[in-house]
């Protein structure tokens, strides 16, 4: 039973446009969320986080939005660059950092 | 070292054989995690070590899986009598006392059971 879901396995965006990656979760106890980026043959790298006390966190071209009532978060990348092409995972934790639940990932392709 | 190091990077084994996967975390990181990613799936939590505390083994899928962490540093994940469904990328991660930047993952071991 997947508690974190990324329903779009892939997304293709033109360079310079906005990329929006979505993530839904089922456990209302989740209170800390992470986004990771993964290139082929490499481990995931941390991108951005948000806690449930906020609804938005911004870091450069990356912004994460959290809608607690909808149990939905999204990652916006603007402007998208070809180097952003990777698999993006969202992850959630409930009350501690011992265990994160990960989605299945969305493969982003940014076309030059 | 500068990052989390995992070995081997690739392992092909015959069904029924035992395998050992190694993780060398970032020096000074007190917490170490094992996850795995099966084809088309998200990262699945396996086990968590924090300092000298008893590990959280709640994610291990069967008693064929075990892990240890010696001296609070290097960890070994052992899979006994491997099955084809064990084929996955096994990822190790570590973190220090600050959670500002999440886990640091290694590049993983791709295990293929034939």
pLDDT higher than threshold 70 for residue B1: no
List CB contacts (< 8 A) between A35 and chain B: none
Give the confidence band of B101 by pLDDT, cuts at 50, 70, 90.
low
Across all residues in chain A, what is the average pLDDT? 93
Question: Nearest-CA residue of chain A relative to B37?
Answer: A104
**Would you call B106 helix, strand, or coil by DSSP?**
coil
Which strands make up the sheet holding B65-69, listed edge to edge? Answer: B5-7, B19-24, B75-79, B65-69
Residues 60-89 in B contacting A (C-alpha not used; CB under 8 Å): none
- The whole-number average pLDDT for the span B56-73 is 92
Give the confidence band of A64 by pLDDT, cuts at 50, 70, 90.
very high
pLDDT higher than threshold 80 for residue B40: no
Residue A79 φ then ψ, to 5°: -80, 150
* pLDDT given for residue A100 in this prediction: 87
- DSSP-assigned letter for residue B86: G
pLDDT higher than threshold 80 for residue A91: yes
pLDDT higher than threshold 70 for residue A1: no
* pLDDT given for residue B96 in this prediction: 77
* pLDDT given for residue A27 in this prediction: 94
C-alpha B3/C-alpha B1 separation (Å) is 6
């Amino acid at each position: 039973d997947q508690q974190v879901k990324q329903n779009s396995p892939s997304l293709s965006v033109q360079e310079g446009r906005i990329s929006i990656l979505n993530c839904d979760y089922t456990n209302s106890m989740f209170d800390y969320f992470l986004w990771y980026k993964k290139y082929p043959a490499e481990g995931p790298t941390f991108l951005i986080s948000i806690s449930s006390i906020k609804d938005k966190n911004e870091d450069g071209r990356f912004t994460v939005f959290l809608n607690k009532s909808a149990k939905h978060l999204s990652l916006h990348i603007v402007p998208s660059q070809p180097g952003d092409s990777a698999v993006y995972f969202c992850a959630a934790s409930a009350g501690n950092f011992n265990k994160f639940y990960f989605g299945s990932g969305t493969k982003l392709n940014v076309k030059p | 070292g500068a990052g989390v190091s995992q070995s081997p990077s690739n392992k092909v084994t015959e069904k029924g054989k035992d395998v050992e996967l190694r993780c060398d975390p970032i020096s000074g990181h007190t917490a170490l995690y094992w996850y795995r990613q099966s084809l088309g799936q998200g990262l699945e939590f396996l086990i968590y070590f924090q300092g000298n505390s008893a590990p959280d083994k709640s994610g291990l899928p069967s008693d064929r899986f075990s892990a240890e962490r010696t001296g609070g540093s290097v960890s070994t994940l052992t899979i006994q009598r491997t099955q084809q469904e064990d084929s996955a990328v096994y990822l190790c991660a570590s973190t220090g006392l600050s959670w500002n930047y999440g886990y640091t993952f290694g590049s993983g071991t791709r295990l293929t059971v034939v």
